[in-house]
Each structure stands twice: as structure tokens, then as C-alpha cells.
Amino acid sequence: MEQLLQQIINSLHVGSIYALIALGYTMVYGIVQLINFAHGDILMVGAYFAFFGLTAYRLPFGVSLLVAVIICALLGMLIDKIAYKPLRNAPRISALITALGVSMFLENGFRYLFGADTKRMPDIIGAEKAFRFGSVRISHMTFITIAVAVLFMLSLQLIVHYTKTGKAMRSVSEDTKAAQLMGINVDRTIAITFAIGSALGAVGGILYSMNYYEVQPYMGMMPGLKAFVAAVLGGIGSIPGAMLGGFVIGGVETITRGYISSTWADAFVFGILIIVLIFKPTGILGKNMKEKV
């Protein structure tokens, strides 16, 4: 029983990271119908800048987090402007290939600039220390991860539902042309969506790298993919869906690792994706979209 409780806490920890990253995928997909393959690498960029902030400039944790998040938000907007905007009306496959290209560019560019070796993220918050409840332990890392993730998710909900920008985002994702006719600046809204999505991805990346103590150029690939699975599972385009999907994937991964096999855990995650697509292609909370001629 206690072991199960411990696993659930671990699931929440991993799941909240996936949920944060999945939000970026789902928001971008909701608004421009593009799988932003580069999103996984944004979280790598975020981890790198947080790492530099913490080690080279010795900034406090909160400041380096903020700096990294702002840089990633700007980077997200830049990528949209350079790589995706010229292809807004091109066939989807072109935009997807471009996204792959951007992802490759970021990974290998960072490898070229900072080397392929794994850097060790410093432990500045006493991650190994833990609160104990009986035999269940919640490490500081887990506590901070879940707290930060929930904080950011709540603020996202507030932005999306109670600000003018959020309203614009929702309307553009509902119907781009109609939104334009209502006087919404679509390009600006898309740029803001990229910025917010990338910022959340960066937070996820920093938490991820702090948890595993490592920063390296290809680190974004796996969590990026799993977060994408989470977004599809929850229903791509749906913000609560991405959060739910993140926690489900985190749970599946942790439980498989704990009870079945640690080597097959990743295969289980992708297996779930395929099963979901067979039985409910729109995901758990996704709306059923009719195809229009």
C-alpha cells in the first residue's frame, strides 16, 4: 500500500513535467494545426540557459528560471516568425518537415556550440532532502516540481479564460478567418501562443533536467515525444486534456517502471498512443471534429 502511494507521488512528479510540456504542443496545435517538433528542443534550450544561469553567473534559482523562460518565449516567437509563418498556407507536410528541420537545427546547433557531453545540473534546492510521512517520502524536488507546475498551469488557465489575449487565442483556434474579421490580430495571437507554449515547455525542461541532473543537446527528444503522446491522449487542442494526459502518461510510465519492467516502460507509453488512436482518435477530452470539404 505504502509502495503504491509512493508510486503515485512519483507519478504526479513525472506527470506534472509532461503536462507542462504537453501544454505547449496542444496550444500550438490548437491554433495553427501544426505538430511543433521543435517544442521538445525548446525545453532543452531552457535547461541549458537555466544551467548557465546557475553555474556560470551564479544567479539564484528563481532568477535563472525566469531568464531561461523569457529567452525560450522569445525563441518560440522567433521560430514561428522565421520557419512557420512563411508556410502558413502551404501543405501541412511542408510545415511538419520544417518543424523537423528546426528541431534538428536546435539539437545539433547546441551540440556544436556547447559540446555533446552531458552537463551536470547543480543541486541547489536540496533535492534529495525529503518530507516524510510514515514510510512515504516526498522529496523537495517532487514538492517544488508539482508546486511550480500547478502554479504555471493555473496562471495559464487564468490567462486563457480571463484576459483579452486569452479570448483572442481561443477565438483564433476556433475559427481563424472569423477571428480576423472580428478585428483580432491573428499573427500576433499566434506569436503569443508560441511564446506561452515555449515558456511552459522551458519550465518543464528545467524541472526535468533538475530531476535527472543532466543537460545535454538531445535531452528534449524523449520527454518531448512523451509529452506529445500525452497531448494526443488528452485530446490535442484541449488545454485541460493536455494536463490530464500528462498525468496519465506519467502514471503509466512510473507504474510500468515500478511493477512490470523498467526497460519496456517507454514502449508501453507509445503502445498506449496507438491504442488510443484506434479506439478514440480524438483523445479523452477532445472534441469530435467533422471534416469539411
Partner 1 sequence: MERKNFQKNYLINFIAVLFLFGIIVMSLQMKLINNYYQGLLIIAGINIMAASSLNLAAGYMGQLALGHAGFMAIGAYTAALIGLHTNLPVMAKLIVGIGCGGVMAGLFGVLIGIPALRLRGDYLGIVTLGFGEIIRIALYNLPFTGGAAGLKKIPKLINLPILFVILVLVISFLFLFVRSRHGRALLSIKEDEIAAESVGVPTIYYKVYGFAVSAFLAGVAGGCLAYFQRALDPNKFKFMLSVEFFIIVVLGGMGSFTGTILAGLFLAFINEFLYEVDELRLVIYAVLLIVVMIFKPSGLLGNREFSLTASGRWLKRKLTEKK
Rounded (5°) CA angle 88-200-117: 95
Task: Work out which of 2, 63, 92, 212 binds partner 1, going by CB under 8 A.
Answer: 92
Task: Work out which of 86, 135, 151, 175 binds partner 1, going by CB under 8 A.
Answer: 86
Strand partners, 119: 215
- 198 and 24 in contact (C-beta within 8 Å)? yes
Strand partners, 138: 131
Strand partners, 130: 139
**How crowded is residue 163: how many other Cβ atoms within 10 Å of its Cβ?**
11
**How crowded is residue 170: how many other Cβ atoms within 10 Å of its Cβ?**
16
Instruction: Work out whether 288 is an interface residue with partner 1 (CB under 8 A).
Output: no
Of 66 and 225, CB closest to partner 1: 225
Task: Work out which of 148, 179, 196, 232 binds partner 1, going by CB under 8 A.
Answer: 232
Of 141 and 230, CB closest to partner 1: 230
Residue numbers 21-60 binding partner 1 by CB under 8 A: 33, 35
Contacts of 162 (CB under 8 A, 6+ apart): none
Instruction: Work out whether 170 is an interface residue with partner 1 (CB under 8 A).
Output: no
Instruction: Work out whether 90 is an interface residue with partner 1 (CB under 8 A).
Output: yes
Instruction: Work out whether 124 is an interface residue with partner 1 (CB under 8 A).
Output: no
For residue 134, what is its C-alpha cell?
510514515
Task: Work out which of 98, 173, 209, 216 binds partner 1, going by CB under 8 A.
Answer: 98
Chain centre to alpha carbon of residue 176: 24
Which region, judged by CB under 8 A, interacts with partner 1, from 2-10, 104-112, 143-151, 208-216? Answer: 104-112
Q: Whole-angstrom Cα distance, residue 189 to residue 212? A: 35
Chain centre to alpha carbon of residue 57: 26
Nearest distance in Å: CB 104, partner 1: 4
Of 123 and 266, CB closest to partner 1: 266
Nearest distance in Å: CB 75, partner 1: 15
Structure-derived torsion over alpha carbons of residues 210, 211, 213, 217, reported in degrees to the nearest 10: -80
Residue numbers 182-221 binding partner 1 by CB under 8 A: 221
Task: Work out which of 4, 5, 63, 97 binds partner 1, going by CB under 8 A.
Answer: 97
Selection from 126, 123, 137, 79 nearest residue 105 by Cα: 79
Instruction: Work out whether 264 is an interface residue with partner 1 (CB under 8 A).
Output: yes
Of 95 and 184, CB closest to partner 1: 95
Of 84 and 152, CB closest to partner 1: 84
Selection from 158, 205, 196 nearest residue 49 by Cα: 205
Selection from 231, 272, 236, 239 nearest residue 253 by Cα: 272
Contacts of 66 (CB under 8 A, 6+ apart): none
Nearest distance in Å: CB 159, partner 1: 26
Instruction: Work out whether 274 is an interface residue with partner 1 (CB under 8 A).
Output: yes
Binding site for partner 1 (CB under 8 A): 33, 35, 83, 86-87, 90-98, 100-102, 104-105, 107-109, 111-112, 116, 221, 225, 228-229, 232, 261, 263-264, 266-267, 270-271, 273-274, 277-278, 281, 291, 293
